[in-house]
A and B are shown apart, each in its own frame.
Chain A
């Protein structure tokens, strides 16, 4: 069974970087696409970007200058880094397997940006 699990700090200071890890079991990240999605307080959802089976990436233009998605295939993990965060980046962050739509999701990690 495909399982995804996000990990990372729940509190980040403004202007710092947010770094999250998604650990995948039951399926290789060298297949499919692997994405990050976030849900803001108030329930708006935003696709942030993905990393493909080959390691290529695609990002939401709204984040393009601040986001980086990378991977470690030896550990079957992929990573999110979001730079220069503000309080508007406070959200629950999810990783998910993607075929365009998302068929397997992690449980999510709530990240608060606050000093």
Chain B
């Protein structure tokens, strides 16, 4: 199985700040990566797919980048509604696997 190592596990940031979350795959996943946001008590919401494609309706302050084994999610100008958990998922190879998640809080 491809292991997805996500960092940091938790993050505290101020409104307006830029935040970056990283995901490292145990092998090359050729941009087969998605990012999700999950707010407490809610289902996950797709943010990014194919490593850098913004899902319909997602604010442009979210962006994804990376290649090979290293990927990142960047949130520009952090808003209060961005407080949530974020996790990555690789779908390059079966079984599809997820990162351990990052909990983002306001400072």
State the A residues within 8 Å of B (CB): 43-47, 58, 60-62, 94, 99-103, 105-108
Is the CB of B74 closer than 8 A to any CB of chain A?
A: no
Contact A61 B95 (CB under 8 A): yes
The B23-60 residues at the A interface (CB cut-off 8 A) are 32, 34, 36, 42-46, 49, 55
A60–B91 Cα distance when bound, in Å, is: 12
Does B85 make an interface contact (CB < 8 A)? yes
CB contacts (< 8 Å) of A61 on chain B: these are 95
Would you call A45 and B98 a contact (CB within 8 A)?
Answer: yes
| Bound-complex Cα distance A94 to B45 (A) | 12
**Which residues of the partner chain B approach A62 to less than 8 Å between Cβ atoms?**
95
Also in contact, A58 and B49, with CB within 8 A (given A44-B100, A100-B32, A105-B44): no
The answer to whether A43 and B100 have CB atoms under 8 Å apart is: yes
Chain B 70-104 interface 0/1 with A at a Cβ cutoff of 8 Å (1 = within): 00000000000000010101010011111011000
Whether the pair B32, A102 counts as a contact (CB closer than 8 A) is no
Which interface class (under 10, 10 to 19, 20 to 34, 35 or more) fits B?
20 to 34
Enumerate chain B residues within 8 angstroms of A103, measured Cβ to Cβ. 46, 49, 55
Interface residues, chain B, CB within 8 Å of chain A? 32, 34, 36, 42-46, 49, 55, 85, 87, 89, 91, 94-98, 100-101
B49 near A101: Cβ-Cβ < 8 Å: yes
Interface pair B97/A101, CB less than 8 Å apart:
no
Q: Which of A94, A101, A105 has the most CB of B within 10 A?
A: A101
A108 touching B101 in the complex, CB below 8 Å, given contacts A58-B94, A102-B34: no
A101 in contact with B89 (CB, 8 Å):
yes
Q: By the criterion CB–CB under 8 Å, are B91 and A100 in contact?
A: yes
CA distance A102 to B44 in the complex (A): 9
- Per the bound structure, the CA–CA distance linking A100 and B94 in Å amounts to 10
Q: How far is the CA of A26 from the CA of B87 in the complex (A)?
A: 27
A selection of 30 A-B contacts at a CB cut-off of 8 Å is: A43-B100, A43-B101, A45-B87, A45-B89, A45-B98, A45-B101, A46-B98, A47-B97, A47-B98, A60-B94, A60-B95, A61-B95, A62-B95, A94-B43, A99-B49, A100-B34, A100-B49, A100-B91, A100-B96, A101-B34, A101-B46, A101-B49, A101-B91, A102-B34, A102-B36, A102-B89, A103-B55, A105-B43, A105-B45, A107-B43
